[in-house]
A = this chain, B = another copy of it.
Amino acid sequence: MEDKTTDQSSTELKIFEAAREIFQAKGLEGARMQEIADKAEINKSMLHYYYRSKAKLFEKVYQLSVIKMIPKITELLNEDLPLEQKLRSFADKYMQIIKANPDIPLFVLHEMNKDPNRLQNFMLGHIGEKVQPFLQQIKEERKKGNTVDLPAEQIMVNIMSLMIFPFIGRPVFKAILDKDEENYNAFIEERHRMLPDYIVSIVMKK
């Protein structure tokens, strides 16, 4: 007896997976229903049979994408750990997540930018308050003189930028650094290895 999440017809899953790939690569308007059907190797009518409309199918892909990336941030940042350990752990675990879903950040940010109110920003409604404890933790450590002298918000943005942007900027960085796909992936691996310590080093006062 399979559980509810895996108890879907293989066709439905094939459709979703194809839709995920194509929506993430080309965005809502760039994606063609026929293209999704082709990739899923099913008749185009099946898309509507299982998901009714392009908008509905997209919404599922979009929501899953957001869910995979956003809640993890607050989840990891609210573990009960001293700041330094928390930073190290967060950097490592969040890099793992992005590496497993490298197309999501650009996809989600592009769609958010197009329509900032999609589902009243969905998922983003209460994230602010969930990040507060972490920002507070930084502020306290800063008062104690344990961190570098920067506003907590700037530190937060620094951390996220260093982790996420190398994935979003991939095509440009590949050109700038003269790397092919394989080389750039190795570069990302190297980055994953160094980032936990590096982030600690630029946040905590030495």
Q: What is the interface of chain A, defined by CB distance below 8 A to chain B?
A: 25-30, 70, 73, 103, 106, 109-110, 112-114, 116, 121, 124-125, 127-129, 131, 150-151, 153-154, 156-158, 160-162, 164-166, 168-173, 175-178, 187, 190-191, 194, 198, 202
Contact = CB atoms under 8 A, between A and B. Distances in A.
A29 B54 CA distance: 15
A185 to B, nearest CB: 14
Copies in the complex: 2
B156 A176 contact: yes
A168 B168 contact: yes
A202 B170 CA distance: 22
Given A162-B158, A166-B157, A124 B29 contact: no
A79 to B, nearest CB: 17
